[in-house]
């Protein structure tokens, strides 16, 4: 299996209004994954479809939106450009996508959602679709200003990376995100190869502060094993197979 490093940045999920911009996967799959990872301790088994109906969850499905853009009927909705229109235009800025995010995240008059969370599944796909790395970083910067600073929310971003990757644009985005994030979850396979009982390890890097102080980042390393509907984490060398 190829080694894959997925990196997300996250403060602390403060729930309620969540916006998921989901690019390559289908709706059903993502919903089921999200449902599973929220253990009953934290949530009472939240249902995402119910949340979507309440208006608590806004889900942009990249695949569907792209298909509508390319094969949709000719009638254009006035004043509503498609969030992914950068694919068909030569200008590769992600402004339309950001506008979509901003309108979804800012609470309208009657709603009282606080602390929005923006989850971006796979920023690397945006690069494959033609956005320049600078445009992607601009998009994240604008989102951070809106969501984190103005609305006191959180952003979670997923990127793919390879150790000996030749994709320089991707590495640029990943490095830049690393520098700007407060918490990095670095997931990779084991250096020694494939193992049935330990699927990989996760490194949690907590930034002490983004300013130049003498404090070191706090790094914790755990190993994990993925089961059908659950992931178990344990300290290094202490997998269930060994104990």
Partner 1 sequence: MAAAPAAGGTVRGRGAISFQRKAAAGSRLAAVAGTRPSVRHGQLLLSSGLPSLDCVLGGGVAVGTLLLIEEDKYGLYSNLLFKYFLAEGVVCGHDLFVASAKEHPDNILKELPAPLLDDTYRNELAEEATAVKSEDFEDSMKIAWRYQNLPKMEASPTTSTKFGHYYDVSKTMSPELFQSIKWHSFYLPEELSLQPEVKTCNVNSAYARLLQSIQRIIYQEGFDGSDPQKKQKNILRIGIQSLGSMLWGDDICSSDTPEDIHSLTKFLYVLRGLLRKSLSACIITVPSHLIQNKAIMERVTNLSDMVVGLESFIGSERETNPLYKDYHGLVHVHQIPRLNSLICDVSDTKDLAFRLKRKLFTIEWVQDNYLRQERNIYPAGFSYLLKQKDSAWGEGSLQHSTFLMSFLAKATAFASRLVRHSEPHKQTGSGRIRQTAELRMWCYGHRQEAPGLLVIST
| Residues at the interface with partner 1 (CB under 8 A) | 1-2, 24, 26-29, 31-33, 35-36, 40, 44-50, 63-64, 66-67, 69-71, 87-90, 124-125, 127-130, 160, 162, 165-170, 194, 196, 226-231
DSSP label of 26: -
Task: Choose between 89 and 215: whose C-beta lies nearer to partner 1.
Answer: 89
DSSP alpha helix (H) spans, 40-94: 48-54, 62-71
Tell me how far, at minimum, the Cβ of 222 lies from partner 1, in Å.
Answer: 16
DSSP alpha helix (H) spans, the chain: 27-37, 48-54, 62-71, 95-105, 124-128, 133-143, 168-180
Task: Choose between 8 and 146: whose C-beta lies nearer to partner 1.
Answer: 8
CB 30 within 8 A of CB 22: yes
Tell me how far, at minimum, the Cβ of 176 lies from partner 1, in Å.
Answer: 17
Task: Choose between 88 and 103: whose C-beta lies nearer to partner 1.
Answer: 88
Task: Choose between 51 and 155: whose C-beta lies nearer to partner 1.
Answer: 51
Tell me how far, at minimum, the Cβ of 162 lies from partner 1, in Å.
Answer: 6
Find the radius of gyration of the CA atoms of the chain: 19
Output helix, strand, coil percentages for the chain, rounded to the nearest 5: 30, 20, 45
User: Token pair of 5, please?
Assistant: 């490093």
DSSP label of 14: -
Tell me how far, at minimum, the Cβ of 113 lies from partner 1, in Å.
Answer: 21
CB 114 within 8 A of CB 16: yes
Tell me how far, at minimum, the Cβ of 213 lies from partner 1, in Å.
Answer: 26
Task: Choose between 71 and 211: whose C-beta lies nearer to partner 1.
Answer: 71
């Amino acid at each position: 299996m190829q080694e894959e490093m997925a990196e997300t940045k996250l403060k602390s999920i403060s729930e309620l209004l969540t916006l998921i911009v989901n690019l390559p996967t289908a709706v059903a799959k993502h919903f089921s994954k999200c449902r599973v990872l929220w253990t009953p301790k934290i949530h009472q088994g939240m249902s995402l479809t119910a949340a979507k109906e309440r208006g608590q969850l806004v889900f942009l499905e990249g695949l569907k939106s792209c298909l509508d853009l390319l094969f949709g009927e000719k009638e254009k909705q006035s004043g509503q450009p498609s969030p992914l229109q950068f694919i068909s235009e030569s200008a590769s800025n992600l402004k339309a996508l950001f506008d979509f995010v901003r309108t979804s995240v800012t609470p309208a008059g009657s709603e009282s959602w606080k602390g929005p969370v923006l989850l971006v599944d796979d920023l690397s796909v945006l690069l494959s679709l033609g956005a320049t790395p600078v445009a992607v970083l601009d998009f994240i910067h604008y989102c951070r200003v809106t969501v984190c600073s103005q609305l006191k929310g959180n952003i979670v971003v997923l990127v793919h990376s390879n150790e000996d990757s030749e994709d320089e644009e991707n590495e640029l985005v990943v490095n830049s995100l690393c520098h700007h994030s407060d918490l990095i979850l670095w997931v990779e396979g084991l250096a020694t190869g494939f193992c049935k009982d330990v699927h990989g390890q996760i490194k949690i890097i907590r930034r002490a502060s983004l300013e130049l102080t003498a404090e070191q980042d706090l790094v914790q390393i755990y190993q994990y094993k993925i089961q059908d509907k659950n992931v178990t984490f344990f300290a290094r060398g202490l997998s269930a197979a060994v104990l």
